[in-house]
Structure 1
Amino acid sequence: MEKVIYQINKSRLLETIKVSASIGATENGGLNRLALTQEDKTMRDIFVNWLKEEGLNIRIDDFGNIYGRRKGRKNSGPVIAIGSHLDTQPCGGRFDGVLGVLSALEVIRVLNDNQVETEYPIEIINFTNEEGARFRPPMLGSGGAAEVFTQDFVYHTKDSKDVTFEQALKQIGYVGKKANRLKNVKNYIELHIEQGPILEKKNKSIGIVQGIQGMSWLTISVTGETNHAGPTPMDGRRDALVPAAKMIAKVNQLTKEIDGLKITVGKMDVSPNVSNVIPGKVEFTVDIRHQDDEARANAIEILREQLSTIALTHDVDLTIETDWKSDAVEFSPDVIKGITEGAEEFGYPAMELFSGPGHDAKYVAQVADTGMIFIPSHKGISHNEQELSFHDDIEKGANVLLYAVTKLANVIN
């Protein structure tokens, strides 16, 4: 019997993405759809209606994660799960996360169009608060479902206006049941934009993701002494900003010593931040990432030593606190194989790579064999209104997702 290779309906998928792009749209063509806001509710309501139209069994768990289940011959499971998130950054793009959820919907639509029966049931998932733009840390929905975070921890997390996650969830009417959480999952696949420049530079359409880099978030506090800029002699100062500047330079220099290390100083506060006052305290954040956890831990220890030396030399106090860390994840060889075969079947140029950002797949990997598919991000831009993935690449990524899903779910007819 000749093998049937199904393909997605490109125009339908692009129209679905267009609808999403109108919910929380910004003036510059991006999206502002923070988790558990009214914009998020509107998008969720539309998404749920789409699931109903496809005849899926819909459920919502206690974190507001939305599931749409398509029956399989073994309907009790285990399931093949596909999805991502619909929330965005305040000035985010139209594809980050959204592509994974809506491409998953298109997979279901194609299977329904062709009356395809599968051995295993398939579930689409929209995870809550992946971005972490409103409630920190990120990936609370997937982390809660995978029991990385307790319900109590998630529910009591607050946004900048002191609204708790639980309050926000109730305000938009998406409090579900704990019994509805993700369970009995055979495989999970997430299609996502790369959020980096590698695929485009290498002229590859498909990224076969091997895993997700581990990351640590540090807060560095440098405390000196506030004083008047005029009368205080240079040799009598305990200026916190001067050593902090040297520390930041040292932080970036470390990336040249450890191959594959990525470090970002993304936030800095100077106190009292007045032009004629010597800064008495400086606080800055450090984001450290590497695909090898030992290399990342080693980098942090080196930084502690180097920054302590700078602090001692300048007679300032130093504290280094780890705010959050997440170890590296390696994805399932079986899922990677299905994705690889899909790219080969369609003749799409592909390459293996690791993910720099964290994704919902990171936590789902703790409860299921997991994998990810990347498509190119034009100029590597993401978390930005100018984020762009071309239509042809979207089609290719969705086709590979469809192929991998049909392979893992065991198509019967």
Structure 2
Amino acid sequence: MIEIDGERLNARLDAFAAIGATASGGVNRQALTEGDRQARRLLADLAWKRGFSVFQDPIANLFIHRAGRDDSLPPVMIGSHLDSQPAGGRFDGALGTLSAFEVLESLDDAGIETERPIVVVAWTNEEGCRFAPGCMGSTAFSAGEIPVGWQEKMTTDGVSFADELKVTIKSLQTAQMLPLGFSVHAYFEVHIEQGPSLEASDIPIGVVVGIQGTRWLEVIVKGQTAHAGTTGLSFRRDPLRALAGSLSSLYETIMPADPDARFTVGRISVDPGSVNAIPDEVYCTIDMRHPNPARLDEIEQLARSSIAGEAARQGCVVAISRSFDMAPCTFAADLQQAIERAAAARGFKSTRMMSGAFHDALFVNRIAPAAMVFVPCRDGLSHNEAEHVKPEHAVAGCQVLAHATLLIATGPGRAGS
């Protein structure tokens, strides 16, 4: 058994929430900003004071190493991220990173030696709001390289990813540099659920079995602009009417017929955007999600055929491209079992669940066994300044993380090699 210091954990959450704090109680600490760098420096300073080793890699992933009896063994890695949305909450990412660091401190406080080393990680740019895509740090780590084109990415205000990455790495010059990627025995990540089910069921621990697949489409429907007052129905080629009709059908069909499906239109724009003109062109994005890749194929095909069919009926042409495709993943069974054992040992109810959002664990899962622990958040709110986790739920998630980590770091559990 290992006891974490719940008061220390919640105090740390408060301290990090002050970095980039917003007037409404949230956090604006976007990736590779000065706020992000301040949070990284604070975490590194806390680690150095405890005598842990601190490393970073070429994508600015931050690693804190606690030695094991056999330090040559691949480590158990635990962590999450420190960056936030522009008007984000104080727990998304930070809870997982600070819970992981609390595990290291609690092991040290108790004088517990693990067979394997344990490494805490703070991944770079999980959110993807300042530089797309999200999960840059874990993606590059799992691939062993920074994908071509990332260095040329720019923010809307003309700041380059390459420059901000260079400044961020330089801000921790005393951290040792590592090459991208290394062998990992197992990976655990604590995160807020970002949904309402745990709170509604009064269950403090979610054992995440996997992450559903996600696809993004970009849709352009081209019609013909004309005068709103003089153009009769039979003469109109209205792209907005075509898109609205097809989306209405898709909204009424996809999610009502399949509780595991997700269908969202997140952006829509009309050109030329005049109050008294029929649009010439309409653009939208579609976010589709499902844990079954075959069903995801069906949903995409349904969306494509519905939009194309309605566009043809309205005398319009349509172009649809896929801008993002992330396959679903299943987490390691033995790590899920370790989380369940840990929850039971601490007296916490738990339930297995699928993650609707993607996380760094998905990308680590490509190269090492991974699993996640979810804790409830109030009203399911996340990416929102009102995001809230009860202190006792933060402690429960950290306690389960500590116990599961100890099981895998000291026992003969399969996990990685």
Amino acid in the other structure paired with 1:182:
G
Aligned to 2:32: 36
In 2, the alpha carbon distance for the partners of 1:37 and 1:309 equals 45
**Partner SS state of residue 190, structure 1:** strand
Q: Mean alpha-carbon deviation: is it higher for 284-293 or for 302-311? A: 302-311
Do the aligned residues in 2 keep the contact of 1:117 with 1:411 (CA within 8 Å)? no
Identity of aligned residues (%): 35
Consecutive unaligned residues of structure 2, counting only runs of 5 or more, are: 413-417
Among candidates 12, 17, 21, match of residue 13 of structure 2: 17
TM-score (ref. length: structure 2): 0.95
Aligned to 2:77: 81
Among candidates 96, 102, 106, match of residue 100 of structure 1: 96
Aligned to 1:209: 208
The CA deviation at 1:64 is 0.4
Do the aligned residues in 2 keep the contact of 1:227 with 1:279 (CA within 8 Å)? yes
Aligned to 1:193: 192
Aligned to 2:349: 349
The CA deviation at 1:146 is 0.5
In 2, the alpha carbon distance for the partners of 1:108 and 1:159 equals 36
In 2, the alpha carbon distance for the partners of 1:279 and 1:332 equals 50
Q: What does the per-residue CA deviation read over 1:340-369, in whole Å, with 9 as the maximum and x for residues that have no partner? A: 001110111110000000000000001111
Aligned to 2:278: 278
The CA deviation at 1:333 is 0.9
Do the aligned residues in 1 keep the contact of 2:56 with 2:178 (CA within 8 Å)? no
Aligned to 2:118: 122
The CA deviation at 1:181 is 2.8
Closer, same or farther: CA 141–15 of 1 in aligned 2, 3 Å = same
1:66 aligns with 2:62: yes
In 2, the alpha carbon distance for the partners of 1:363 and 1:154 equals 17
In 2, the alpha carbon distance for the partners of 1:289 and 1:148 equals 27
1:220 aligns with 2:182: no
1:251 aligns with 2:250: yes
In 2, the alpha carbon distance for the partners of 1:8 and 1:324 equals 40
**Partner SS state of residue 152, structure 1:** coil
Do the aligned residues in 1 keep the contact of 2:80 with 2:360 (CA within 8 Å)? yes
In 1, the alpha carbon distance for the partners of 2:204 and 2:285 equals 34
Do the aligned residues in 2 keep the contact of 1:84 with 1:190 (CA within 8 Å)? yes
Do the aligned residues in 2 keep the contact of 1:205 with 1:350 (CA within 8 Å)? yes
In 1, the alpha carbon distance for the partners of 2:258 and 2:375 equals 28
Do the aligned residues in 2 keep the contact of 1:361 with 1:371 (CA within 8 Å)? yes
In 1, the alpha carbon distance for the partners of 2:71 and 2:349 equals 35
Amino acid in the other structure paired with 2:398:
A
Do the aligned residues in 1 keep the contact of 2:47 with 2:64 (CA within 8 Å)? yes
Amino acid in the other structure paired with 2:180:
R
**Partner SS state of residue 143, structure 2:** coil
Aligned to 2:332: 332
In 1, the alpha carbon distance for the partners of 2:171 and 2:239 equals 47
Do the aligned residues in 2 keep the contact of 1:207 with 1:352 (CA within 8 Å)? yes
Consecutive unaligned residues of structure 1, counting only runs of 5 or more, are: none
Q: What does the per-residue CA deviation read over 1:31-78, in whole Å, with 9 as the maximum and x for residues that have no partner? A: 001100111111111111011122111111000000011000110121
**Partner SS state of residue 299, structure 1:** helix
**Partner SS state of residue 146, structure 1:** helix
Aligned to 1:269: 269
Aligned to 2:141: 145
Do the aligned residues in 2 keep the contact of 1:31 with 1:91 (CA within 8 Å)? yes
In 1, the alpha carbon distance for the partners of 2:178 and 2:186 equals 20
Closer, same or farther: CA 284–193 of 1 in aligned 2, 3 Å = same
Do the aligned residues in 2 keep the contact of 1:189 with 1:373 (CA within 8 Å)? yes
Amino acid in the other structure paired with 2:371:
G
Q: What does the per-residue CA deviation read over 1:179-221, in whole Å, with 9 as the maximum and x for residues that have no partner? A: 4333110000000000000111111110000000110011111
Do the aligned residues in 2 keep the contact of 1:59 with 1:180 (CA within 8 Å)? no
Q: Counterparts in 2 of 1:173-184, with a 5 A limit?
A: 173=170, 179-184=178-183
Closer, same or farther: CA 61–317 of 1 in aligned 2, 3 Å = same
In 1, the alpha carbon distance for the partners of 2:406 and 2:190 equals 15
Aligned to 1:397: 397
Do the aligned residues in 2 keep the contact of 1:377 with 1:387 (CA within 8 Å)? yes
In 1, the alpha carbon distance for the partners of 2:156 and 2:282 equals 22
Among candidates 2, 11, 23, match of residue 6 of structure 1: 2
CA RMSD for the aligned pairs?
Answer: 1.6
Aligned to 1:135: 131
Amino acid in the other structure paired with 2:206:
G
1:303 aligns with 2:303: yes
Amino acid in the other structure paired with 1:108:
L
**Partner SS state of residue 31, structure 2:** coil
**Partner SS state of residue 334, structure 1:** helix
The CA deviation at 1:178 is 7.5
The CA deviation at 1:303 is 1.5
Amino acid in the other structure paired with 1:206:
I
**Partner SS state of residue 249, structure 1:** helix
In 2, the alpha carbon distance for the partners of 1:21 and 1:119 equals 34
Q: What does the per-residue CA deviation read over 1:259-289, in whole Å, with 9 as the maximum and x for residues that have no partner? A: 4111111111111111111111111111001
Q: Mean alpha-carbon deviation: is it higher for 208-217 or for 301-310? A: 301-310
The CA deviation at 1:334 is 1.3
Do the aligned residues in 1 keep the contact of 2:82 with 2:122 (CA within 8 Å)? yes
